[in-house]
Structure 1
Amino acid sequence: MLVDIVPVGNVPANVKRAASTALRSVYDCDVTINDAQSVPNGAYDADRNQYTAETFIQLAERVGRGEKNIAVTPHDLFYRRRNYVFGLAYLDGSGSVVSTYRLQTSSDGGFSNQSAEDIFQDRVRKEIVHEIGHTYGLEHCDNNRCVMNFSPTVREVDIKEENLCGSCQRLIS
């Protein structure tokens, strides 16, 4: 399986490395990093001062070279009526997106003694693994330690692990 990371906007090398490392580790897949792309036309919603997540997924599907493709962007995303999303993917689809915008907070509220940069890298890895999991057909998991657990806040992202629980792992094996 090939997963192509599609940077959209100015995505730092450390974010691309974290995404690539996590995908290889959890899914044992090949990973490529595509050329940087511009924000898709029509993605920006001036009323919300955010970007619509679906347009980034469509871009990833269009330019990505993998069986699975994930756009990664520093821009703030929303989906329908949600105030924001860390990422979005369609079940069993080929495209997905992760935004690093809201993953960059100064700390994890005392959950660990890691540096802000290490916390950020952990969050990026978890969200990349989570969204690609959806493209493999995985739904949200009730196990709050599983990477597929629904995590609407960074605190919940920090609590879960980077890996699939045994039940979710069996579903994709």
Structure 2
Amino acid sequence: MKRPLMLLVPLGKVSGPWLEELIKEIAENFQTQVELTRPLPYPPSAFCFRRRRFFAHLIIDFLREKAGPVDFVVGLADAELYNVHHNSIISESHFQARAAVISVNKLRDFLFGERPEELFRKRVYKEILRSFGHMLGLGHCRNPRCVMYPSLTLMETDLKGNSFCPECSLKLRLRFGEIPLLRKAA
């Protein structure tokens, strides 16, 4: 069985050694191919001068257009994002487009502990996994330990787990069967 391809697309000036570690973790846990593209500039039409941030839906459309025929595409943004419901968001995902965008700058706020870079990478991983769940058709979960629990704050992101709860795992298995893609993520 061919392994699905997930494309990670840095937007703006997203870079650092954490990206290589993240790619290895995603490839191992998701049982998928992961490729990192060269950084892309933001589409100018996505910027809202009044809000001073980018409209996530337009960035997702841009990513899907640029990515071509890949299974999943995730943009990693160094800027603030918003959607139709919230003035500031951590991430946004689209099921039909199988695309998502994550504000990694927002995940850098309030880093603490002995290893702040590790906390940052965990936050990004959780958001990618949550976005991946949405791209596979999962909705939000009511279990605050599940990665699918909606997190509007960093505290909520830090408190939830880094895997699907039993109920969300079951939904994925009922929809897709035993898929190797989620062997460790579920």
Q: TM-score, normalised by structure 2?
A: 0.83
2:147 paired residue number:
147
Tell me which amino acid in the other structure corresponds to 2:138.
Answer: L
Deviation at 1:92, TM superposition (A): 4.3
Give SS of 1:39's match. coil
Tell me whether 1:85 sits opposite 2:106 in the alignment. no
Tell me whether 1:42 sits opposite 2:45 in the alignment. yes
Deviation at 1:59, TM superposition (A): 1.8
Give SS of 2:79's match. coil
Tell me whether 1:64 sits opposite 2:82 in the alignment. no
Deviation at 1:120, TM superposition (A): 1.3
Cα distance change on mapping 1:140 and 1:81 into 2, 3 Å: closer
Deviation at 1:12, TM superposition (A): 1.2
2:14 paired residue number:
11
2:110 paired residue number:
106
In the aligned structure 2, how far is the partner of 1:42 from the partner of 1:93? 19
CA deviations 1:31-84 (Å, max 9, x no partner) are 111221111121111111111111211122112252111111111000014121
Tell me which amino acid in the other structure corresponds to 2:107.
Answer: L
Select which of 58, 82, 98 maps to 1:94: 98
In the aligned structure 2, how far is the partner of 1:37 from the partner of 1:16? 15
Tell me which amino acid in the other structure corresponds to 1:61.
Answer: R
Give 5+ residue unaligned stretches, structure 2: 174-186
The more displaced of 138-147 and 149-158 is 138-147
Equivalenced residue count is: 169
Over the matched positions of the two proteins, sequence identity in percent amounts to 24
Contact 1:77–1:99 under 8 Å retained in 2? yes
1:30 paired residue number:
33
In the aligned structure 1, how far is the partner of 2:160 from the partner of 2:27? 19
The more displaced of 99-108 and 31-40 is 99-108
Tell me which amino acid in the other structure corresponds to 1:115.
Answer: R
Runs of 4+ in structure 1 deviating by more than 4 angstroms, as ranges, are: none
2:136 paired residue number:
136
Tell me whether 1:166 sits opposite 2:169 in the alignment. no
CA deviations 1:92-149 (Å, max 9, x no partner) are 43211111121112335xxxx4422222111111111111211011111111111111
In the aligned structure 2, how far is the partner of 1:139 from the partner of 1:167? 12
Bigger-Rg structure (1/2): 2
Tell me which amino acid in the other structure corresponds to 1:9.
Answer: G
Alpha-carbon RMSD across the aligned residues, in angstroms, is 1.8
In the aligned structure 2, how far is the partner of 1:17 from the partner of 1:85? 25
Select which of 52, 55, 60 maps to 2:55: 52
